[in-house]
Structures are given as C-alpha cells and as structure tokens.
Amino acid sequence: MCGQRLLKAIGSTEASIELLNYLKSESLRTRNLSELSGTLRRLVPEIMSLRPSSAFLENTLRELLIMLTERKVKDVEEGKECVAKFIDEVINRAKRISNEVAIIGSKRIADEDVILTHSYSTTVINLLLRAKNEGKRIHVYVTESRPGGEGLTTAEILSKSGIPVTLIVDSAVRYVMKDIDKVVVGAEAIAVNGAVVNKVGTSALALIAKEARVRVYVASGTYKFKPETVFGELVRGTIITEPNEVLPPQADEELKRRIKVLAPLFDVTPPEYIDAIITEKGLIAPQAVPILIREIFSWPPQVPSLDELLKKLGEMYG
C-alpha cells in the first residue's frame, strides 16, 4: 500500500486523494458483491490508520458507506461503478473547493506582505501563488516542519515559482515573528468549537503570533470540518516513536537503543489563537464553525461511526 510516507511527506488533501484512489482501484478489482464488501471492510480501517486525523478522509469514507448501505446495489458492476463515481466526484469537488479557498484567501494578502506558513498545504501554496500572479510582491517565511520536513517541499515549490522564500528552523518562529505581517496555515481537521488540527508546531506558532498581534489565517475547505466533535469525540493523532524517524542518520545504534523518541505529527490550536478560517463559503471566525456545520450536516450532526457502517455493509452484502 501507499505506506508510511503518507503520514508525513504530503499534505492532508493530497494524502487523502491518494488513499481514496487506492481504495477505488482495489474496489474495481473485485468480482462479486461479497468481495467488494470485504475489500471495503478491510481497507477502510487500514486507510484510516494511515491518516487518523484527516477529517476529509473520514467524512468521505462515511459518506461513501452511507450511500452503499442506503442504496440496495443489485450486482458488483453497479457497486464498483458507485464507488468509482463517488470517489471521482469527491476528489474533483475537493480540488474545486481548494481553488475557491485560494481565490478568497488571496484577497487577504496585500502587496509587500511578509507571510509565515508552516509545513505543507496544497491550499496554502495555491493561495500564495495566486497572490503572486495577481501582481502582489510577497515574501514567504517557511518552517522546515519537523518531523518530516515538509516545509522543504513548500519552500521549493514557492521559490521555483519566483516567490522570495526564507526557510527557517521551527524553533526560530518567535525570532522572526517581528518581521511577519500575516500567518497562513492549512488544516488536517477543524473541530466544532473552531479548534484546528494541523502539523505539530502550528499551535505554538499561533500562540507566538497572537502574542505579537500578527493575524493568523487557516485556509481550509469545509470538507475538513469534524462534525462528531460536537459530541466530545477527540481527533486522533499520530505519534512517531521510532528513533530512525527523528535522529540523524549518523546516530549510532547504541544511542538509538538507549533513548526514547516522542514525535507527535499533529497538534490542536485553540480557536482563540485564530483570527479567521478561510473557506469556500467565505471568511469566518472560528466561533462561527457550528453555524456552518449545522448547514452542512444538519443539527445535531448525523454522524454514524465507520465501524457501525462497515458492520451494516457486511450484513447487507456479506
């Protein structure tokens, strides 16, 4: 399967799209409804284990399973067509929404702004590239974003596009904040209270920005809203404990055996550290997230668990 690199080397939407395409390709290999059901029941938990914090992925898989359990599929060809068509539509919609967020967000960028971003986000990159294409002369500071170092990819993409870029180590955020006009980051998930799950370091960055009175914007489509958090369910994160993932290659084996490694990949930024969330529906305050969730998912949100839906799928199709 796609493997551990999806845990770190690419952004939330990009990782989710790759995993969804993998699910589609495996579903298309099945020969009967029982095999299709078994493939989904095996792969959905496996896929979620690779990206447990992704609201986009979980929302999409839930929507897919609801469709399959509410619609009585007659044969495997109809089932495969439903899965493939649904995943293609979701991916196209996500790309369209990401572009809409970039259009709206670029309007918040002024000429000669100095922007600080963290890690890697396709939506944020598109937003910054659009601002440049609109003739705005911007300079972007990018954190390296350990563990994983996704910021290096962000810096490479922006610099190749002609945007002046300064790459900084994560611990230098407070040092450079005096030079920053705006902070723009992406999201892995957004809770009902407006808290944002993103690459570890985002919360500290937002706190430092708040202290320095620098505005913090989160660029994210509403498909990353996490409706089940209204019931108090926590967003699960991934923690790296393997020394080889964190220690430099030259570290000796004895050192790797002696020490423990704790490297969470995501953290939660409280809503009070965020000035606005840029969505395809416009700029909203974090406190307005429940209103949008009410519009999208109804109220209270109808969010059956993936386990419940997979059990029902097995009962229907074997």
> Which tokens is 163 given?
């945007």
| Tens digits of residue pLDDT in 142-194 | 999 998 899 999 999 999 999 999 999 999 999 999 999 999 999 999 999 99
Residue 226 parent element (H or E): strand 225-226
Give yes or no for residue 6 having a pLDDT over 70: no
- Amino acid letter, residue 165: V
With pLDDT > 90 as the criterion, what percentage of the chain qualifies?
74
Residue 59: which pLDDT band, with cuts at 50, 70 and 90? very high
pLDDT for 75? 93
Question: Are residues 214 and 183 in contact, defined by beta-carbon separation less than 8 angstroms?
Answer: yes
Burial of 281 (0-12, 13-18, 19+ CB in 10 A): middle
Q: What's the rounded mean pLDDT across residues 312-317?
A: 90
Cα gap 110→119, rounded to integer Å: 22
Superfamily for the 4-99+301-317 domain = translation initiation factor eif-2b, domain 1 (1.20.120.420)
Higher pLDDT, 262 or 173: 173
pLDDT for 10? 67
| Tens digits of residue pLDDT in 271-299 | 999 999 999 999 999 999 999 988 887 77
Residue 190 parent element (H or E): strand 189-191
Domain 104-295 has CATH 3.40.50.150: no
Give yes or no for residue 253 having a pLDDT over 90: no
Q: Which residues contact 280 (CB under 8 A, 6 or more apart)?
A: 97, 100, 101, 104, 221, 222
Q: What's the rounded mean pLDDT across residues 220-243?
A: 78
Q: Which range is least confidently modeled, 35-49, 127-141, 227-241?
A: 227-241
pLDDT for 9? 44
Give the mean pLDDT of the chain.
91
Q: Which range is least confidently modeled, 42-56, 109-123, 173-187?
A: 42-56
Residue 7: which pLDDT band, with cuts at 50, 70 and 90? very low
pLDDT for 297? 79
Residue 267 parent element (H or E): strand 266-269
With pLDDT > 70 as the criterion, what percentage of the chain qualifies?
95
Question: Are residues 209 and 180 in contact, defined by beta-carbon separation less than 8 angstroms?
Answer: yes
Residue ranges of domains in the chain: 4-99+301-317, 104-295
